[in-house]
Amino acid sequence: TSVYHTNPLLPLHLDHESVSATFIDTSGQDIPLEATGVSRKPYCGYEHQILSKRERLEEASLLEALQSHESYTDLVPFVKSTDPSSSYFVILNSGAFFKVGSQLEVLVQVQDFQGRPKKYGGDYLQARIHSPKLQAGAVGRVVDYQNGCYKVFFTLVWPGKVTVSIVLVHPSEAIRGLPHLQEERPDRVYFKSLFRSGRISEITICNVCLPGNLPVCNFTDLYTGEPWFCFQPKKLPCSSRINHYKGGYLKGLLTTAESAFFQSDVNIKMPIHSSGPDWVTVIPHGAKETNDPEPSQSMENFPSGYYYKNQWMSRKFKMHQFNEPENITECLQGKMIYLFGDSTIRQWFDYLITFVPDLVEFNLGSPKNVGPYLAVDLKHNILLRYRCHGPPIRFTTVLSNELHYVANELNRIVGGRSTVVAIAIWSHFSTFPLEVYIRRLRNIRRAVVRLLDRSPKTVVVIRTANVQELGPEVSLFNSDWFSVQLDTILRKMFSGVGYGMYDLRTEAEES
């Protein structure tokens, strides 16, 4: 059976200004492209979304930009995969004269476990320059020549001794399997909901995608069209759902041969060492000797910023540092601050109520680390709220009536000069096909545009993704490779929208 679900409050004509309707075919059969407007194979096996021409072009462009170009098809033996310990990098012109604003180029040659240079690319490298004594760091731009050689470009933005670090996050042989997990195994993180009526309770599996032809409860959001399903309880109605929570992670996703490409201390986040000097000396751009960074004279826009004395320095905007509680209070006085998203934005709430003594949290009886949360500073007229985004979200337990979508929350905000909105939404989408994330951002972007149209003075901040520590298991669910994909989509989809980007480059931090 199939269900066609639309909201009568929404326009029937779907264009880039209206909310996309969702067609759900639980039989798993493909629908003709003419009926759906989707030019790509339906993801999740049964889910389709009607897109406008502009949306189709945007989605196709985003997916094409992230398409991996494999130069091999067969599974490569482990000994022929990338060995970070035998790979090396060379600083080009290491004896040259470098000034602040100069470009530094580094050549990376990857080799296999037999010590032979590789003939194809696709490895995921993270590159940074850093100065531990200055607590300074910046990321580099990696260019893959698809022949086993990579070039990394750095902009030197502070004077002193600057060290180069290159890390192999995943070999190309590991990355080869990640898109398959992303497209074919969105169930590798599964969710559950409790249904209860009187003394009868049942727990069922929930997700964006549910396999098979069992009856389902359709919890698709009426306003955004965001789909969410739970297997229907055997004895209870769908309306008896009480909560939502993360069920767990699937095991056995890889074969023994594939698992060899995901080993801690072997080929996950392992350093690649230099075959010569791994540092250069950078002198100030002007004649005056100083240890402070200077504005770059280069036209190079990468990176957008860097860490210096353990503080983020933007290369695009003038930054204000709020090092004292009273500085933060002065900035936020008279403001209503709304934080929406995952735990990375909830940490902002935790930090503010800890660091600013006059900001007092109200106990709403919410589950720990889940929310919603509320804090106020009556003396300075500050209101601070946090609410998690709608499913998929891997929190412990969220009450069903607290599952709110960010786009819907934004539509309820009046906005204005005294309103600040900050959004972080990416981490919990790493296990899903990219179309799931694109659709979520599309709905949020529409809501942001509407908010700024009615209240142009509203401040909207988008928090970008960040990297993290990885092990064999985490790599299959929250690899930095997934995070970079989501971050790329986030930046592209919100480019040109009137917002502020909180550009988080944790790989640049001096730890």
DSSP string, 407-429: HHHHHT----TTEEEEEE--GGG
Domains 81-175+261-283 and 305-508 belong to one CATH topology: no
Concatenated DSSP letters of 60-84 = HHHHHHT----S--SPPPGGGSEEE
Mean pLDDT across the chain, nearest whole number?
Answer: 86
What is the model's pLDDT at position 12?
25
Burial of 363 (0-12, 13-18, 19+ CB in 10 A): exposed
Q: Which residues, in sequence order, are bridge partners of residue 91?
A: 106
What are the pLDDT tens digits along the chain (511 aa)? 223 232 322 222 222 222 222 222 223 333 333 333 334 455 555 445 677 899 889 999 999 988 866 655 678 999 999 999 999 999 998 777 899 999 999 999 999 999 999 999 999 999 999 999 999 999 999 999 999 999 999 999 999 999 999 999 999 999 999 998 998 898 999 999 999 999 999 999 999 988 888 999 999 999 999 999 999 999 999 999 999 999 999 999 999 999 999 999 999 999 999 999 999 999 997 745 455 555 544 445 678 889 999 998 888 878 888 889 999 999 999 999 999 999 999 999 999 999 999 999 999 988 888 989 999 999 999 999 999 999 999 998 999 999 999 999 999 999 999 999 999 999 999 999 999 999 999 999 999 999 999 999 999 999 999 999 999 999 999 999 999 999 999 999 998 776 666 665 555 555 4
Task: Return the closest-CA partner of residue 293 out of 493, 401, 131.
Answer: 131
CA distances from 128 to 165, 278, 329 (A): 5, 12, 34
pLDDT in tens, 141-181: 999 999 999 999 999 999 999 999 999 999 999 999 999 89
Which helix (DSSP H) or strand (DSSP E) does residue 181 occupy? helix 178-184
The CATH-assigned architecture of domain 305-508 is 3-Layer(aba) Sandwich (3.40)
Q: CB atoms < 10 A from the CB of 506, how many?
A: 15
The pLDDT of residue 366: 86
d(CA 69, CA 78): 20
Residue given tokens 């990640």 in the structure block? 178
Which parts of 249-373 fold into alpha helices (H)?
Answer: 256-259, 325-332, 343-355
CA distance 398 to 391: 10
Q: Is the bond into 372 cis (omega within 30 degrees of 0)?
A: yes
What order of strands is seen across the sheet that includes strand 459-463? 360-362, 373-377, 382-388, 336-341, 419-424, 459-463, 500-502
Domain ranges of the chain: 81-175+261-283, 305-508
Q: Please count the CA atoms within 13 angstroms of the CA of 46 that sit on its side-chain side.
A: 20
Query: Which residue has tokens 């004649």?
Result: 287
Query: What CATH class has 81-175+261-283?
Result: mainly beta
Residue 504: the pLDDT is 57
Q: What is the pTM of this model?
A: 0.86
Give pLDDT, residue 23: 26
